[in-house]
Amino acid sequence: MNHQLLPPALFAPLAFLLGLIMGSFGTACVHRWLNEISLLRPARSFCPKCEATLRWWENVPLVSWLLLRGRCGHCGEAIGWRYPALELLCGLWGLAVALKYGPGWAFAALFVLGGMLLIASFIDLESFLLPDVLTLPGAALALASAAFLLGPGSGPDAWLANGKTALLGAAIGGGGFWLLRVGYKLLRGTEGLGLGDVKLMLLLGALVGPQGLPLTLLLAGITALLASVIYMLRSGQGGKTPIPFGPFLSLAGMIHVLWGQEIWLWWLRVMR
């Protein structure tokens, strides 16, 4: 179901701009959540170092960071990599989803879900925590989107079938990770997976469905394994180095949304 919202010729660049704006808002969410600051007060953005209120031209997504050469215009403190990275990634996500799905409600749902996953991932990278305020509403949105917007067909029968598939995916994803969490703790006496990862898998399971979970988990495992080498080299702790799994699960889910079918078809051709 793909109700037209905007002329297609204008959609891709506008989606990129909307992504940049979402990323700018996301950086505020990440900083304020990590530092336990209200998202509403102060209302305007400020420098994390000197706390000076940013002027409008210092708060233009990505552009301001480039113009200011990565430094605060008031105190000269370096602006962390998180800000331009999250803004750019959200912009690219908006562009990619627009090119894949075109203008419509499916784009709107996936655009928001991807933004939530990126914001949660950046929080997880710095705190090893996935906020319930993102994962649980995200799971509800993924269930509704899978039932009414993303699944095949339309009408009550199709919506019911799509909803059942999404619920099954959420149950397998979240339930499977909960069992892994309990089993690991029983065997090793320590936690290997957080409850945040379990809740994240409710979202991703609903989004990709039970058939999409194997590829999503495979992609997450591969990317996490590659990143673990960097983490271990930087920490010097070897195999005991803690690694947040949420960003890699999110990345894998987003890849599946964009290219899951193409990856499966490629794999089937390789295996012939």
pLDDT recorded at residue 6: 65
Instruction: Clarify whether residues 131 and 185 are in a common domain.
Output: yes
Instruction: Clarify whether residues 155 and 145 are in a common domain.
Output: yes
Domain boundary among 79, 103, 127: 103
Task: List the structure tokens of 138.
Answer: 């995200």
Instruction: Clarify whether residues 219 and 99 are in a common domain.
Output: no
Instruction: Clarify whether residues 85 and 187 are in a common domain.
Output: no
Instruction: Clarify whether residues 93 and 159 are in a common domain.
Output: no
Instruction: Clarify whether residues 37 and 58 are in a common domain.
Output: yes
DSSP state of 237: -
Instruction: Clarify whether residues 234 and 164 are in a common domain.
Output: yes
**Phi, then psi, of 71 in degrees rounded to 5:** -135, 155
The answer to the question of residue 4 being in a domain is: no
The answer to the question of residue 2 being in a domain is: no
pLDDT recorded at residue 2: 45
pLDDT recorded at residue 54: 86
The answer to the question of residue 161 being in a domain is: yes
pLDDT recorded at residue 218: 96
The answer to the question of residue 216 being in a domain is: yes
The answer to the question of residue 157 being in a domain is: yes
Q: Which residue from 83, 167, 169, 69 is spatially nearest to 122, judged by alpha carbons?
A: 83
Cβ-based neighbour number of residue 157 at 10 Å: 9
Q: How far apart are the first and last CA of the chain?
A: 34
The answer to the question of residue 93 being in a domain is: yes
Domain of residue 193 covers 105-272
In angstroms, the CA 237 to CA 222 distance is 21
Domain boundary among 85, 103, 121: 103
pLDDT recorded at residue 45: 87
pTM of the complete model: 0.92
Instruction: Clarify whether residues 136 and 207 are in a common domain.
Output: yes
Instruction: Clarify whether residues 158 and 262 are in a common domain.
Output: yes
Instruction: Clarify whether residues 90 and 109 are in a common domain.
Output: no
pLDDT recorded at residue 5: 54
DSSP codes of every residue in 160-210: HHHHHHHHHHHHHHHHHHHHHHHHHHHHHSS-SS-HHHHHHHHHHHHHHHH
Instruction: Clarify whether residues 117 and 98 are in a common domain.
Output: no
- CB contact burial 58-74 (16+ within 10 A = b; e otherwise): bebbbebbeeeeeebbb
Note if the bond before 247 is cis, omega within 30 degrees. Answer: no
Instruction: Clarify whether residues 34 and 59 are in a common domain.
Output: yes
Considering its fold, how many domains does the chain have in total?
Answer: 2
The answer to the question of residue 226 being in a domain is: yes
The answer to the question of residue 3 being in a domain is: no
**With contact defined as beta carbons under 8 Å apart, do 11 and 102 qualify?**
yes
Domain boundary among 103, 120, 155: 103
Low-confidence ranges of the chain (pLDDT < 70): 1-6, 236-240
pLDDT recorded at residue 29: 96
